[in-house]
Structure 1
Amino acid sequence: MSHSVACKEFNSFGISKNSGGNFTNKKRFPETDLTSSQPQPLKMSTAKVKTGQLWGKSKEDLLKTLGELKTELGQLRIQKVVSSGSKLNKIHDLRKSIARVLTVVNLKQRSQLRLFYKNKKYLPLDLRPKQTRAIRRRLSPEEKSRTLEKTKKRASHFPQRKYAVKAA
């Protein structure tokens, strides 16, 4: 074991203090030796994430899954640079899995917001129906059906006459 590896210490921020005294920032990816041609083995989840399974999970579980997928994607990107073997299919699947998880998180959040604002006077703009500008400007059915007092009186004073025509 070399001296530099044995004397390496880490603080709570992920910054290592080498034996030489200089500090290096440890990013979210593990250390990889870029000079070796052999990539380091990774623990990979080969299966794609199924959206149906995500709906049953809680928000904490979803965020945990999202974090795992993102770190795995970062490791795969490093591996792609290091090794000559292409990891494009796995990277593609991981990106789509991340998108699925984010979609479920956002839809769950929006449904909770819809429940919260259900009986409130105003609804946030992004939760209102989109439609077209002309449809949004139209009178509501309640506003359309309202009539003035004068109009009501006129209608009652001059009702539609009913009559029958004798056949010739």
Structure 2
Amino acid sequence: LGAAVGTMAKIKAHELRGKNKADLLAQLKDLKQELSALRVAKVTGGAPNKLSKIKVVRKGIARVLTVVSQKTREALKEEYKGKKYVPLDLRVKKTRAIRRRLTKAQANATTEKA
């Protein structure tokens, strides 16, 4: 908990992106421990600065989780690059109509109507 106490400064997402997954998960664990300690302080009537820190820590946890999921998605996208079948959640969303539209090659292959 000693290292996590100094996390009053907001965690920056661009700094998190430079870390590997193991470091991120370790930081996540520290933040969660700190949050539980702050919640205990809240119940026992802790200092007001500790109560205001709860929000900062929660946002920090959210940032770490976001970066972890983004890295995971990027790795999966790289893995499926050039493959015939891609999982639904990695495909482009667009709209249903656009997804069912002819591809550019197919549209150009059809002859113009007279």
Q: Does 1:60 align with 2:22?
A: yes
Query: Scaled by the length of structure 2, what TM-score is found?
Result: 0.85
Aligned counterpart in structure 1 of residue 40 of structure 2, from 62, 73, 78: 78
TM-superposition CA deviations, 1:119-152 (whole Å, max 9, x none) = 10011111111111111111111221224xxx6x
| 2:101 paired with 1:146 | no
Q: Which has the higher contact order (CA 8 A, sep 6+)?
A: 2
Q: Counting strand residues as a fraction of each chain, which structure ranks higher?
A: 1
- In 2, Cα distance between equivalents of 1:104 and 1:54: 7
Q: Residue 112 of structure 1: which of 38, 57, 75 is its match? A: 75
Gaps of 5+ in 2: none
- State the structure with more CA Rg: 1
Return structure 1 stretches of 4+ with deviation > 4 angstroms. none
Picking from 55, 60, 74, the partner of 1:97 is 60
| TM-score normalised over the length of structure 1 | 0.59
Q: Which has the higher helix share?
A: 2
| Structure 1 spans left out of the alignment, 5+ residues | 1-41, 152-168
Per-residue Cα deviation, 1:88-138 (whole angstroms, up to 9, x for no partner) = 320000010001111111111111111100010011111111111111111
RMSD: 1.6
Superposition map of 1:46-57 within 5 A: 46-57=8-19
